[in-house]
Amino acid sequence: MIAKAVIKFKGKRHETWSFIFILAVLLIFAMTFGLAEQGIIFVPFIAMMAISMGYDALVGVAVVVLAAAVGYARSLTGPFNVANAQQVAS
């Protein structure tokens, strides 16, 4: 699956949009499902994709960490935020 994405996007003018799309998907998952801690699972896959497209592995790590951090901060329905807010409200 990663190889297909790399072949499809590598060298094209919309190559950076692939990382923005992945960032948006992970951000949505982090906002709804609380994907902050579980985002570490995606680091090797996104890092492999970044390296094979000619970027540094840090780009792959940054995509996952940024999506998890912003998604957690902007979460309205995340299970961790709602549980903490419910305890504070009680």
Helix (H, G, I), strand (E, B) or coil at 53: coil
Domain segments of the chain as ranges:
36-82
Give the type of residue at 80.
Answer: F
- pLDDT reported for residue 82: 76
Query: 2-9 vs 43-52: helix axis angle to the nearest 10?
Result: 30
- pLDDT reported for residue 58: 94
pLDDT digits (tens, 9 = 90+) for 32-57: 877 777 888 888 988 988 888 888 99
Question: What is the mean pLDDT of the segment spanning 18-26?
Answer: 83
Report the share of the chain in percent with pLDDT over 70. 98
Q: Which CB contacts under 8 angstroms, 24+ apart, belong to 47-50?
A: 48/2, 49/2, 49/5, 49/6, 49/18, 50/19
